[in-house]
Chains A and B, each alone.
Chain A
Amino acid sequence: MSYLEFLGNYSDRLIDGSLITLLQFVLAALVAVAAAIISGLIKLAQLKPLQAVATVYIEIFRGTSLLVQLYWFFFVLPLLGVSLEKFVAGFLAVGLCYGAYGAELVRGAIQSVPRGQWEAALALNMSPAQRMWRIILPQALVIMLPPWGNLMVEILKGTALVALISVPDLMFEARQINNNTYLSAQAFGTALVIYYIFARFVVTPLMRWLERVMARRIGRA
């Protein structure tokens, strides 16, 4: 079978898988951003009990493997009475895992906004929430966007693991095709190229664009 024939036979499955991968990526990214902001802010706030919860979340998810977390979400949580659809377990595990890494980015970025900005906001008599929301976060966002670009690629790659709980994403389809045809180079090679295109020509340019937009809004571009 020539490679063109291979593509002709299996492009439908590869496209379906790619769409699922993109969907998993978008949902996981949303979960990660939300988890990162919430736990990053909590870690900075002086609320001791909540701080402990955020620390435990961050350390557990950063200290163990994504695959372990995924299996735990999918196989163990139902035993504890929480049944998750495999599709949901997938993006939730990926999102929460990388959200723990993102939390440190959020925290670091907020801390690197110069102290003078807090002080100037206080001198204008702004409330703590106003200071954070209107003065600090917009500046922190510009600081943390570049590392978030890398993290987004990691999230995209991380979604490949959902294939192992049978979510029919690109990784899953490639494996199925391989099992049916033994055309490993074609099946896995094509999937590698598709992931590469997503990472290099979709996710990364999007993040760069976002960086530029935000930098312009802050008057730096």
Chain B
Amino acid sequence: MNDDTGRYPLKLEGDNIPMVSFRNVTKKYGDLTVLDRLDLDVAPGEMVTIIGPSGSGKTTVLRSLMTLETIDGGVIYVDGEPLTHMEKGGKLVRANQRHLRRMRAKIGMCFQHFNLFPHMTALENCMEGPVQVLGLPKDEARERALELLGMVGMSEKSDQHPSRLSGGQQQRVAIARALAMRPSVMLFDEVTSALDPEMIGEVTNVIRSLVDQHSLTMLMVTHQMGFAREISDRVCFFYGGSIEEQGAPATIFETPEKERTQQFLSAVLQAN
């Protein structure tokens, strides 16, 4: 971590504080720079989709935000507070475990391969966090979990273990599990990539309904261009670890300015 954290504010202040803010974020694996001085703001309630070629750092953005990866430079803010860092003696220092646990409460994530807990039923998966982490009474957690399972259309399967569920069903449970923690920010990393084509719709429908009814802030990585275009407030095209071009879906998909964006989109659309 470079020690130029003095350049970054201890807290974001003002009128339009973004829900998520990447400031000059760098992430490296050895010599490979995966995020290259990335700046990205996401407003409260906004749905931002990240597209881009394989290896451009899309997943890394979400994983850094979920604190599954530690970044090597810059600061990430969530809800105006530093996430990767904390204040100590008027300076930003690397966050300790306690700070991370406090901040993580605001973020939920859904994975490409669902990662449901195989030894728990769908319902237990959705109750685990609320009971163990939030300390909710079991009754209340069950009520909340059942409500969310209903919302994703999984009420009937709530007593099934993941091994008995299809991919699409597992992913819907995973979304309910993340929502049960009442996060402010939801991250979706290619949640439909591991699904058979006929199951993609059931998962995208759930995400669509989230966009409609919640004031959730969402960051989504996807290869489904049609879906991205339909539901995003903004689309960011990633290239080489930073944002090459971003804007309203219509602009990005119809009149992209940068050559790399055009190349990427024509390659992807041709393949479809």
Beta-carbon contacts of A195-221 to B below 8 Å, as 1s and 0s?
Answer: 000000000000000000000011110
Cβ–Cβ contact B133 & A120, under 8 A: no
Residue pairs across A and B with CB atoms within 8 Å: the count is 70
Contacts known (A219-B164, A220-B163); A122 close to B66, Cβ less than 8 A:
yes
Do A119 and B115 form a contact, CB below 8 Å, given A125-B101, A219-B163?
A: yes
> Is B115 within 8 A of A117, CB to CB?
yes
A-B pairs with the 4 shortest C-beta distances?
A219-B161, A120-B115, A124-B129, A116-B115
Indicate whether A219 sits within 8 Å of B121 (C-beta atoms), given known contacts A122-B66, A126-B133. yes
Chain A: interface secondary structure?
helix
Residue among B68, B105, B117, B128 with the highest chain A CB neighbour number at 10 A: B117
> In the complex, what residues of A have CB within 8 A of residue B108's CB?
123
B203 within 8 A of A: no
A121, A142, A219: the one within 8 Å of B162 (CB):
A219
Q: Determine the chain B residues whose CB is within 8 A of the CB of A123 once the complex forms.
A: 66, 68, 104, 107-109, 111, 178
How many residues belonging to A are interface residues under a CB distance threshold of 8 Å?
A: 22
**Chain B: CB-nearest residue to A119:** B68
* B residues whose Cβ falls under 8 Å from a Cβ of A: 66-68, 101, 104-105, 107-109, 111, 113, 115-119, 121, 128-129, 132-133, 160-164, 174, 177-178, 181
State whether A219 and B119 are in contact (beta carbons under 8 Å apart), knowing that A116-B111, A125-B133 are contacts in the complex: yes
Please state if B104 and A125 are interface contacts (CB–CB under 8 Å).
yes
Smallest CB-CB separation from A218: which chain B residue? B119
Q: Inside 8 A of B174's CB, which chain A residues have their CB?
A: 120
List A residues at the B interface (Cβ < 8 Å).
114, 116-117, 119-127, 130, 134-135, 138-139, 142, 217-220
Smallest CB separation, B184 vs chain A (Å): 13
List, in ascending order, chain B residues with CB within 8 A of A127's CB: 101, 133
**Contact between B115 and A122 (Cβ–Cβ < 8 Å)?**
no
- Considering the complex, give the chain A residue whose CB is closest to the CB of B164: A219
Contact A122 B68 (CB under 8 A): yes
Tell me, rounded to whole Å, the shortest Cβ–Cβ distance linking A171 to chain B. 40
